[in-house]
Amino acid sequence: MKQKRLWGTILLFGCISLSMATLAWSDGSEWGENNEHEGKGFIQQTAGVSSVNNKAYKNECSSCHFAYPAGFLPKRSWIKIMTTLDDHFGEDAELDAQDAQGIETYLLNNAADQRPNRFSRSIMRSIDSRTTPLRITKTPYFRHRHREIPTRMVEGNAKVRSFSNCLACHSGASQGSFDEDSVRIPGYRFWED
């Protein structure tokens, strides 16, 4: 009887330990859902993506489009983008060597596969390791999160025009906040999915 109780106790504590470990590292969903800062396990992690804090990257890239947080794509994607600036989605976006090196270093150090946050981990889980996405809007994570938004509300909207125009609907995008509760699609009332 004592041996059964001992094994029962060991099994109970094992299940409790496994449950606690799972809760400490889970995202709460397949794709990650919120943008709040949280501590999980022994490592401080954030749910949201870090805002852009590199002056050269912000100045150079935001002169043409929103300076996307580095945590939106993996290192391999940023390498490909930075080595093909002479044909950057149909435009010549070449930089002088010093600026290019500084920006590339920033992007690689802050890429989705380098940052301990839910958002970047969710993006990485959605991307096949054999692919190198160049457009954030083409990642499975992005498509999943925007799947319920009718195309007419974005691409057919003169105030938005494209799903890549993050700032049009995410007012906190510059600060790294893409919380769906704060989405405001121009010309429409509050977005509810």
2-35: pLDDT as tens digits: 777 777 777 766 767 766 655 444 444 444 444 3
Domain boundary among 103, 131, 159: 131
**Structural domain harbouring 187:** 146-193
Do 89 and 122 share a structural domain?
yes
Q: Alpha-carbon distance 47 to 180, whole Å?
A: 13
Query: Parallel, antiparallel, or unpaired for β 37-40 and 43-46?
Result: antiparallel
Alpha helices in the chain, H assignment, sequence order: 2-25, 55-61, 75-83, 97-109, 118-126, 140-145, 151-154, 166-169
Cβ(132)–Cβ(124) below 8 Å? no
Domain boundary among 97, 131, 165: 131
Do 190 and 119 share a structural domain?
no
Per-residue CA distances from 145 to 30, 106, 163, 172 (Å): 11, 26, 11, 17
pTM here is 0.73
Do 69 and 117 share a structural domain?
yes
Nearest of 186, 183, 173, 184 to residue 58 by alpha carbon = 173
pLDDT at residue 91, rounded to an integer: 93
pLDDT in tens, 81-138: 999 999 999 999 999 999 999 999 999 999 999 987 888 999 999 999 999 999 999 9
Cβ(132)–Cβ(77) below 8 Å? yes
Cβ(25)–Cβ(42) below 8 Å? no
Do 103 and 71 share a structural domain?
yes
Total tally of structural domains belonging to the chain: 2
Do 118 and 157 share a structural domain?
no
Domain boundary among 101, 131, 161: 131
Q: Alpha-carbon distance 146 to 179, whole Å?
A: 12
Do 112 and 156 share a structural domain?
no
